[in-house]
Amino acid sequence: MLEAAGVAIFALTGALVAARKGMDPFGFILLATVTGAGGGTLRDLLLGRTVWWVEAPLGVVICAGVALTAWTIAYLKPGRLDGWSAKRLLIWADAAGLALFAVSGTQKALAADVPMLSAIALGAMTASFGGILRDILAGDRAMVLWSRDFYVTAAAAGAAATALLTHFGFGSLTVMLGGLAAGFGLRAGSILLGWSFPSLPEADGPR
């Protein structure tokens, strides 16, 4: 359930980028599916297991459904999905998807009996890889590289909270809410309040 929500929300971010780029329906489906399925695909490959959407294609169906719904809205109401409000929706939907996948990715890694640190790394990868693929395919600067914003850091925080709460024996609801709060809270603080690490001076170029 948690992963399905993450798939749908991340697929929406892919569709919003496709709308901004003026893509056709297949472009919408491609970006939505890559974004929604990318992180989980990387996680499963690293765990040496069958990729989740190969076993259960419902996830791809969700991505395609979100994509075609978004394309229909963009076609019937031009400009509705590519303005300032759509850009804000993209940023916040991406933050929500990141938090959801950080939790679900970590839980699946822990269920595969990998060490805690490895589970945290896999959770962070699950949360961030789909968005990175989306931005690369769309020709945009990846959100993970936006200035000093907490992005992978937020994903890692959500994954770490999930792993630690699980380790200390908290119930599934507490684990889920704690992981979501850590991941989404840190990302939201970065977006709204500019939370970030201190910046390093930019290099002048090769010496």
Mean confidence (pLDDT) of the chain: 91
**How far is Cα 198 from Cα 200, in angstroms, rounded to an integer?**
7
**How far is Cα 75 from Cα 85, in angstroms, rounded to an integer?**
17
> Scanning the structure block, which residue is given the tokens 């931005």?
135
Residue 202, pLDDT score? 60
Residue 19, pLDDT score? 92
Q: What is the reported pTM?
A: 0.90
The two tokens of residue 93 are 């939907």
Angstrom CA distances, 144 to 63, 64, 170, stand at 22, 25, 31
Q: Are 126 and 119 contacting, i.e. CB atoms less than 8 angstroms apart?
A: no
**How far is Cα 168 from Cα 165, in angstroms, rounded to an integer?**
5
The two tokens of residue 22 are 């003026």
The two tokens of residue 179 are 């992981």
pLDDT(148) > 60: yes
pLDDT(112) > 80: yes
> Scanning the structure block, which residue is given the tokens 């805690």?
116
Quick one: DSSP state of residue 196?
Answer: B
User: Which DSSP string do the residues of 78-121 spell out, in sequence order?
Assistant: TTTTSSHHHHHHHHHHHHHHHHHHHHHHHHHHHHTT--HHHHHH
> Scanning the structure block, which residue is given the tokens 């769309």?
138
**How far is Cα 135 from Cα 129, in angstroms, rounded to an integer?**
10
pLDDT(205) > 50: no
Quick one: DSSP state of residue 138?
Answer: T
Nearest to residue 127, comparing CAs of 4, 20, 39? 39
Residue 79, pLDDT score? 75
In this prediction, what percent of the chain has a pLDDT beyond 70?
A: 95
